[in-house]
A and B are shown apart, each in its own frame.
Chain A
Amino acid sequence: MAPYASDDSTTGGEVDEQRSGRRKAARYVVPVTVMGVAAATIGLVPALADSGDPDLPKITAQQLIEKIATSDVQQLSGTVKISTDLGLPDLGGLESSLMSGAAGRGEGGSSADPTAKLTELASGTHTLRVAADGPDKQKLSLLENAAEYSLVHNGKDVWGYDSKSNEVFHGTASESPKHEKGKEQQPPATPKDFAEEALKAADDTTSVTVDGTAQVAGRDAYKLLIKPKQSGTTVGAITVAVDSETGMPLKFTLTPASGGAAVVDAGFTQVSFAKPAASTFDFTPPKGAKVTEEKDAGKGAEKGFGKGFHKGFDKGEARKHAPKSEEGLGKGLGGMKTIGEGWNSIATFDTGGEGVPSGKGGGDLGGFVDSLGDKVTGKFGSGTVFSTRLVNALITDDGKVYVGMVTKDALVKAADAGK
């Protein structure tokens, strides 16, 4: 008989054989139990950790909005998770090259250029780290696979650093301090930015209510629910979770009228209001890194930190969250007009047959872009509608562009009226 180890005893006899068979089977209970416990833990821990909505004193929507407005958070650091699902086809690199091409024609081709980089946020899920210490020091990092893109604003310097290609972009922030002290100095891409843009639209076309409380990044927060009263818009509802202590918006969710997953979901997963270490904002270009100066980067490059971001973001996402701020896009493309009001406002401008890669102007690329859109005809003539889950755009064959967070029909109606 085979030698058996000390912790195993099988001797002859049917009874023993049966018992040992059972004992053999019993050993397999251990791995199975471990797996079961693990599965249960993975399933249950999030449910248990969700200790229910916090109990906070009642507050009116007006008070909550004031709380956001008077919120004066100067120092913070945290991690933000942004998921955007515009329903765009996933074009990967092509998409970003298309968008950066549209945002800043003739730029120096540095992968550390903020405009080129931040348009990547327009699709997928990204993890960002933000840190801020007063109006002069901010840092925004986009965490990538084994790499990181950092945008550092320290005093008058703005640095962009792409660790993957070891390239540096350098600009100056001389313009920003004089005309926008508090607002745009906040680290962009935080839920606060989104919330402020959304609240600009809070007039008679909008209902704003307080919708209970929630826990965000371990902090107690009120939930502000913003809903368009009008029909015809693609926006379903916007939820903003506001920190009950500091009034800082911690989470921003935009759901489309068509239902389904949120189009934009940006929220802190971890946040601290302590002063970040000063070294966080120190940046010296690493040895051997290719440095692109802002003025080398061509006329399309951006000035300033917040602005550069906002513009890039506005273009990349076709201004989805900024129905009333035209500066970003208007600066780039003169002659912008707005039709309609509130949520149903439609931006329109004449491209003069260039600037937008349409079938006529863009050659091969235009043909490809055309294949993504739907042909429509109306009293205005004919054109192509590009739809996403939130923003629809109509480009007529004579070069007029209508963009808005409205349904396709509303765009055609606007084009008809404009004729």
Chain B
Amino acid sequence: MSRAEVVESVRPVSPLWTFGLLRSELTTTFRRWRTLALLAVLAAVPVLVGIAVKMETSDGSSPGGGGGGGPAFISQITNNGLFLVFTALAATLPFFLPMAIGVVAGDAIAGEANAGTLRYLLVAPAGRSRLLLTKYATVVIFCLAATLVVAVSALTVGALLFPLGDLTTISGTQISFAEGLGRALLIALAVAASLIGVAALGLFVSTLTGSGIAAMATTVGLLITVQILDQIPQLHALQPYFFSHYWLSFADLMREPVYWDDLTKNLGLQALYAVVFGSAAWARFTTKDITA
């Protein structure tokens, strides 16, 4: 209690200490079986999509039924394996990726409280704000890691099953393979950034409850609810404020020239969610009684 206060006021905690806390958080998170299983599921999605497209087109027919059905970019995969990256991200972004984020973010505080380890974390002279910030940083790094797992797995499968080479943007212009790879990396970053809103939401929910399962279920439930509401035309006035509304804007990076309007809207919206729910989580976490 007040001993910690005295310590901090006398000797400021070195910034390196925060870094150490972050590192230990990261190792704890990424060593969990649950996290590894989530990443394995994410890595399996591009494999499934790749094999399905390969099988469907082995007789020379075009994928997606030829009429432009299926996830974005799917009709291009057979011509260039790099498009599997975009298709896999488009396929996982609506559900698999945010679900994984929801599980990790929901678990961040509530899971510790559930396991009775939160009080020990707080005994360390890190301070609650710092702990919360570290937790959020861990979740954001997980967002990036999860997206990169999907992208790298898709690139590997795409390179193994389909030809690579110069690619055609959706505007019909040609770009080199190297530039295509650069765009793929940008797209992965844009997808990872699209998830920081959900991450903040999940962290806030996590501070509300002492049960890790409840926090995860609430976050994933909210995610599904918002996605459904985003499909209802009568709510079009509200939809620009749903965190998932501009998610597919990452495809605009494949236009030539890039169409930035929706991309910047998406980033702004994610930042807004991060600030609002991040500060709400801070307000809740720094004032609540820790009983476990």
Interface residues of chain A, those whose CB is within 8 Å of chain B, are 1-9, 11, 23-24, 27-28, 30-31, 34-35, 38, 79, 111, 127, 129, 141, 143, 145-148, 150, 152, 159, 161-166, 279-280, 282-284, 286-290
Contact = CB atoms under 8 A, between A and B. Distances in A.
Contact of B172 (A5, A7, A111, A159): A159
B15 interface: no
A3 B127 contact: no
Interface residues of B, number: 55
Contacts of A23: 287
Contacts of B279: 30-31, 34
7 contacts: A3-B119, A5-B128, A31-B280, A34-B279, A79-B259, A148-B171, A164-B68
A210 to B, nearest CB: 31
B125 A2 contact: no
Given A6-B5, A7-B286, A27-B287, A34 B276 contact: yes
Contact of B283 (A27, A147, A163): A27
Looking at A31, A143, A146, the one whose CB has the most chain B CB atoms below 10 A away is A146
A97 to B, nearest CB: 12
Contacts of B8: 6-7
B79 A9 contact: no
B93 to A, nearest CB: 11
Nearest to B75: A166
B96 interface: no
B2 A162 contact: no
A2 B128 contact: no
Interface string B190-202: 0000000000000
A282 B174 contact: yes
B283 to A, nearest CB: 4
B62 interface: yes
B56 to A, nearest CB: 14
Contact of A152 (B5, B172, B272): B172
A143 B255 contact: yes
A6 B126 CA distance: 8
A178 to B, nearest CB: 27
Nearest to A90: B233
Interface in B113-162: 119, 122-123, 125-129, 131
A111 B286 contact: no
A288 B128 contact: no
Contacts of A129: 171, 259
Interface in B250-292: 251, 255-256, 259, 272, 275-277, 279-280, 282-283, 286-287, 289-291
A374 to B, nearest CB: 26
A365 B80 CA distance: 41
A38 B5 contact: no
B174 A3 contact: no
A16 to B, nearest CB: 12
Contact of A24 (B127, B129, B277, B287): B287
B244 interface: no
A280 B272 contact: no
Given A5-B128, A31-B276, A31-B279, A280 B173 contact: yes
Contact of B286 (A2, A27, A280, A290): A27
Contacts of B73: 146
Contact of A4 (B4, B76, B251, B276): B4
